[in-house]
């Protein structure tokens, strides 16, 4: 990795590409803009910025635009792009890093519903050690406000006993709670 510093910006500690490299180990500057990631991405048409585009923006140092892009929240982390990339960049690690930076630095995250969903799910793990889908859905709706959107799907799932009323708690919950409290520090 060290001898592949393709363009100068990698040297600058304030640069986004440098930061991503430091946090995730992925070297954005090896991207050859071949478009493989965008051509296999299942959702690139909804992202606002296609994946290779986002990488170019990082290379150009457009930090603000990148961290405000809806693309980083539409990406579902499926790794289809990572499995195709000829430069062996794991784009999901890059996206994760961008997501963390955006949460740290930015207000008014675009696609806030996605963040809301992830927060509900993570909270559910912190409470039970496992996910409790009904609680996640109720928590999500409470915050997003769309109580009646998708009501039919919810009822169908309930009827088919896919949404358990009670959570499945693990026995040693204190271990999970400790991880969460340490992570918060």
Partner 1 sequence: MPQNNLSSFTKFSYFPGCSMITTAKESGQALEASCEKLGIILEEIPDWNCCGSSSTHMLKRGLSLEIAARNLALASPDRPIVVMCPSCLHNLKRTSHQLKKDRALHEKIEDSLQKKVYLDHKIVHLLEVLAQWDIKKIQSILEKPLKDIKIAPYYGCMLASPNVMLHEHGYPLSIETTLKALGASIVLWPDIRGCCGTFLSVTKPDVSSKAVQRIIYNAKNSGAQCIVTACAMCQLNLEIRAPKEDKIPVFHYIELLAFALGAPEWKNWLKYHLIDPSPILEKAE
The binder of partner 1 chosen from 60, 61, 62, 133 (CB under 8 A): 133
- Count of residues interacting with partner 1 (CB under 8 A): 61
Token pair of 87, please? 């430069």
- Binding to partner 1 by residue 79, rule CB under 8 A? yes
CA gap 30, 88 in Å, rounded:
9
Q: Which of 3, 14, 161, 185 binds partner 1 (CB under 8 A)?
A: 161
Binding flag, residue 46, partner 1 (CB under 8 A): yes
User: By CB under 8 A, is residue 42 in contact with partner 1?
Assistant: yes
d(CA 52, CA 32): 9
Quick one: which of 22, 106, 168, 177 contacts partner 1 (CB under 8 A)?
A: 168
12 vs 77 by CB, closer to partner 1: 77
Task: Report the residue from 1, 7, 155, 179 that binds partner 1 according to the rule CB under 8 A.
Answer: 179
Taking CB under 8 A as the rule, does residue 130 contact partner 1? yes
181 lies in the binding site for partner 1 (CB under 8 A): no
CA distance 39 to 55: 14
Q: Are 100 and 137 in contact (CB under 8 A)?
A: no
> Is residue 48 a contact point for partner 1 (CB under 8 A)?
no
Q: Say if CB 11 and CB 5 are below 8 A apart.
A: yes
Helix residue spans in 63-132 (DSSP H): 63-67, 71-74, 80-84, 91-105, 112-128
């Amino acid at each position: 990795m060290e001898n592949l510093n393709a363009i100068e910006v990698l040297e600058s500690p304030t640069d986004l590409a440098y930061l991503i490299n430091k946090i995730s180990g992925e070297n954005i500057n090896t991207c050859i803009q071949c478009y493989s990631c965008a051509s296999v991405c299942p959702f690139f048409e909804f992202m606002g910025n296609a994946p290779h585009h986002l990488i170019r923006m990082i290379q150009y140092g457009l930090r603000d635009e990148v961290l405000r892009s809806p693309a980083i929240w539409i990406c579902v982390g499926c790794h289809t792009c990572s499995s195709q990339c000829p430069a062996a960049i794991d784009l999901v690690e890059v996206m994760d890093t961008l997501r963390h930076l955006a949460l740290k630095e930015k207000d008014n995250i675009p696609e806030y519903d996605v963040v809301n969903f992830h927060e509900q799910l993570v909270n559910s793990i912190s409470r039970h050690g496992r996910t409790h889908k009904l609680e996640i859905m109720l928590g999500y709706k409470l915050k997003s406000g769309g109580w009646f959107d998708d009501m039919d799907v919810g009822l169908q799932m309930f009827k088919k006993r896919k949404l358990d009323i009670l959570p499945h708690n693990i026995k040693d919950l204190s271990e999970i709670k400790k991880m969460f409290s340490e992570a918060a520090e």
